[in-house]
Amino acid sequence: MIVERSMHARAVSNSYLVVDRPGGAAVVIDTGGPAEPLLAKARELDATVELVLLTHHHWDHVENTAAWVEAFGCEVAAHPLEAARVGGGPGQVTRALEGGEAFEVGELAIACLHVPGHTDGQLAFVVTHDGTSELFSGDTLFKGSVGGTRAPGHTTVDDLRHSILDVLLALPREWTVRPGHTDPTTIGAELDTNPFVRAWRGERELGHERVRVGDHAATLLLEARDYDGGTKCWVRWSDGGEDVIPGSRVVRG
C-alpha cells in the first residue's frame, strides 16, 4: 500500500492518495489539501483513482473534490448527513456510506466507521492491503488532540468520547492513524499519551478553573496542545453540558 499526503498551507488539512500498487487502483481520502501534487503522484504511479472518500463536509476537507472527478470521473462517497452539505457540481456526493460498510477498490479493502461528534455524519476509514491496516480518522482523532464539538453539524462530547474510546481506540495498538490535520500517530500512542483520552479514562485529574467563552460561564476541565500549535479545551457549561472548543475562545479571569 502506497500512501501519499498533501496538506493545505493555511488550514493544515490533509488529503491522502492511497494506491494498492503501481499501475493499480487508488482512492483519495478528503480533498482539502492541494490536488496537483497527488494528481502528479497518481500519474507517476499510473494509478486509477476510482473513489473519493470524504470524512465530512467542512470546506477544508472537500475543497478540491472537483479536480479528482474531472481527472478520473470517479465516484464521491460520504455519509448522507454530510452529502447534503457538500453541495452540487462536479464535487457532489454520488455514493452514500452510512458506516459499517466494507468493500474493495482494486486490492484495497476498505471499512467505513461512523464516528459522530465533530459532525453528525463523520466517517473514518480503515484501509487494508497485504495484511497492513491504517486508520484515516478525519477530524475525530488527532495526534495528541481530538475534534471539536462546536463546528457546523456537530453533535456532543458524549458522542465524540464514544467514537474515540469505543470505536477508534479499540483497534490494534500498532496501527498507524492518519488524521484529517497534520501529523500521523498510532493507536497505542494516543491511548498512552493523548490528554483527552487519558482524562476520559480517568487517568488524569480534571481542572476546576472558572472561565468565560463569549457570554457564557464555564469550567475549564482540560486544556491541551492542538494540531495547529494552539490549544483545545474541554469545558463544562453552567447547565452541565460540555463541549470541546478551540482554546482561543476561552477567556480567563
What CA–CA distance (Å, rounded) separates 175 from 113? Answer: 15
Dihedral in degrees, nearest 10, Cα atoms 56, 175, 143, 214: 40
Q: 212-242: per-residue pLDDT in tens? A: 999 999 999 999 999 999 999 999 999 999 9
User: For residues 2 and 45, is the Cβ–Cβ distance under 8 A?
Assistant: yes
DSSP three-state, residue 226: coil
What CA–CA distance (Å, rounded) separates 37 from 252? Answer: 43
Name 2's bridge partners. Answer: 19
Q: Is the pTM here over 0.85, yes or no?
A: yes
List the chain residues with pLDDT less than 70: none
What CA–CA distance (Å, rounded) separates 148 from 154? Answer: 8
